[in-house]
Amino acid sequence: TGRAGKKGISHTFFTVEDKHHSGSLINVLKEANMDVPDNLLKFGTTVKKKEHKVYGAFYKDIDPNAKPTKIIFD
């Protein structure tokens, strides 16, 4: 990757053992306007919701285009 304002190249090694992360990686590539390799798409695009064995699911869909809300405390 680039340092000190210079451009660089980043390589990601992705194997069959990493396929449960494929949906998240595809989303990152799409948000960065990068091409998604066909071989990566073969792993699937599902993003599993995070779940804690005690607290249950705590996954939250967040709209990346939503404006922040200012909160004022008295």
CA distance readout (Å), 43 to 24, 61, 66: 11, 22, 30
> Is the pTM value of this prediction over 0.85?
no
At residue 23, does pLDDT exceed 70?
yes
- pLDDT at 58 (0 to 100): 57
Q: Where are the domains of the chain?
A: 16-57
pLDDT of residue 39: 87
Model pLDDT, residue 63: 73
19 or 58, which is more confident? 19
Tell me which amino acid residue 8 is.
G
Amino acid identity of residue 63, one-letter, is D
3-state secondary structure the chain: CCCCCCCCCCCCCCCHHHHHHHHHHHHHHHHCCCCCCHHHHCCCCCCCCCEECCCEECCCCCCCCCCCCCCCCC
